[in-house]
Structure 1
Amino acid sequence: MIARLLIFAAAAALVALPFFAPSHIVFLVAMIGSTSVMVAGLTIVVGFTGQISIAQASFAAIGAYGTAQLATMAGLPHWIGLPAIALVAAVVGYLFGLLSLRVADHYLALATMALCAIVQLLLIHLEDWTGGAVGLAVPPLAVGTRMLTRPTELYAVIMPCVALTVWFLHALSTSRLGRAFAALRMSEVAAAAIGIPVLHYKSLAFALSAFFGAFGGGLFALQTTYLDPAQFGILESVRLIAIAVIGGVLNPFGPLIGSAVFVLLPEAMGALGRYMSLVFSLLLLLFVVVSPQGIAGLPARLRARR
């Protein structure tokens, strides 16, 4: 009951936020939202199925650059282009899963790392399509003839997507598919023994991860308005994993909580923001050792100790 009241209060605060908060705060909260959608994909592949992926930034790049270029070169509205490119990324994720998920553990990590490196190199060298190292401008989101560029307008677009993402993660955790994913996490051998097609479900997890990564990447592109290959490298993939772990990889609200820590921590540190990477790394180490369930899992952990 208390948890439901807290969720309702948080939702009410988020709805009211654009009406009283400064534009800078609205922008930051929207950035938390778009980041959390990217991280939600990792919650599925890392948390639900127990796989290791360092490719999430590459899927975000597909969504960001694809959304921008579908609008620039094909004249496709973002309302159509963003979901379309996210579906394309899901197909890429599924096919990559079929090819690479025959390996496991650190070999899988190396395979996903290689994919991330390849995508970043393509972003740099396919200059006619991506702008190369110079970068690529992102056309603004439009409704009819009106361009949505103000933080409050983008907030109104992004936050419903965040709510749907949280709902999907919750529904997935209690669904038949979610239970199959959990079986894979516990033991692939046992899952195969009871008739679960292991390779198909692992690839499906990668497809869902790629979809959310690309969709979040597209939302991120609409906010930043300019894309740079440096935003989508291996280091960024590692950051996204850290956000997922700190927030909690088995909780639907984990991506949102971890993203809030990542986005708001530099603001809270002020002049000490240059040490943000060090502080964030220490937080990651702390939660890996002390609370693997992340911040979202702390209440249950504290209740269990009573």
Structure 2
Amino acid sequence: MRIIFMGTPDFAVPILKYLLCSSELVSESHVVAAYTQPDKQAGRGRRVIMPPVKRLAMENSILVIQPETLKSTKILEEMAGLRPELVVVAAYGHILPQAILSLPKFGCLNVHPSLLPRHRGPSPVANAILCGDESTGVTIMLMDAGMDSGPILAQRKVNISPEDTTGVLTSRLAKVGGELLLETLPKWTSGKLEPRPQDEREATYSKPISKNDAEIDWHLPAMKLWLRLRAYNPWPGCHTLWKGKRLRVLAAVALSDVVKGRVGEVVALPKGISAQVGVVTGEGILGLCQIQLEGKRQMSVKEFVLGQRDFIGSILSSLV
């Protein structure tokens, strides 16, 4: 079976790795091409960065195709010329036109890191954390023209721990997604699976994440800020201002009003609490654990305070 893989970020890499092993489960299957986003320039030197999927594909001598758009006739003809019988998509980054969805015999399968119809859209992992969900999961679905609205072939639940960040949880979901894909492919291609329509009444949507989302508003409740810290880690990383410099909050805990103070004030916390220093929020205290001042290395708050005695008692402000 001829397979085209479409994916771009780190989440897609383990899934492609599992797919490369699919020949053991699906007779004569092989990946004939990997579609991924174009290389980007980053950093002051404008260094060219290739997508993680491209790197893995090249290591396995797989044809790499990086179109700017999927809507051109040339791209559609090129894909048709590859004669795919199945397309597997994992965080590709472009909506697939109907001409591609209709091309392969076994359709286009999407590995989506949520339990659809919950958390459709571009940021499902971060959104699950932002919502305070205790669990999420992976869905293998047959793609249609909608936004993550296609019928479901398989799902697997994954618990969310209080320590999980988007980065950590995404890595775990990618592994589960790869395993679930391998289990699903032979059942789907042999006609043993019946797609199950999604319940539109249960659908929720995630939005794209921007740098502005990670600016800390200390008037929000500590619990909401704690969820944001985890959801926006590793990118864009929650931050505030101290002495005119950006201060990243890397790890924290949400606490009750154990001490009083002004919103945004850095306060010392009583002994016996899981953090020694906190910030007064609109509701409760956000106990600080790991921080990083602009231009400095990350460190524990205890270590930071030893070198910055005036930190306690200061007022942290928003970047806006």
Q: TM-score, normalised by structure 2?
A: 0.23
Higher strand share: 2
Higher helix share: 1
Q: TM-score, normalised by structure 1?
A: 0.24
Return the structure number with greater relative CO, CA threshold 8 A, min gap 6. 1
